[in-house]
Amino acid sequence: MVERRVNVGWAEGLHARPASIFVRAASAAGVPVTIARAGGDPVNAASMLAVLSLGAKGGEEVVLASSAEDTTQAEAALDRLAKLVAEGLEELPETV
């Protein structure tokens, strides 16, 4: 399993628009990805309802993980998602 720990860069946390941006990126990642609040249970990162249910706030640490067999692809996907979350990007980068 590959993991990335990152602090949420969106001031409002993973709510509404930021969650939508993140879920679209996770869905396009090409590998299964989960997200969890630090110490919490992981949820499917490609599910809008699941991501919203986390209630992750701005600045809070979250854990992104993938158990994909292709660890190189999983590493790359998690790097892109971690950057998106940490920087609180308002649009999907072209590389996602």
Average pLDDT over the chain, rounded to whole?
92
pLDDT mean over 72-87: 95
Tell me how far apart the alpha carbons of residues 38 and 49 are, in angstroms, rounded to a whole number: 19
For residue 89, give the nearest of 20, 42, 36 by alpha carbon: 20
Q: Residue 63: phi, psi to the nearest 5? A: -115, 120
Domains defined along the chain, listed by start: 2-87 (3.30.1340.10)
Active-site residue list: 15
- What pLDDT was estimated at residue 53? 96
**Tens digit of pLDDT for each residue in 7-32?**
999 999 999 999 999 999 999 999 99
**Tens digit of pLDDT for each residue in 24-68?**
999 999 999 999 999 999 999 999 999 999 999 999 999 999 999
- What pLDDT was estimated at residue 88? 87
Residue 41 CB neighbours (<10 A): 8
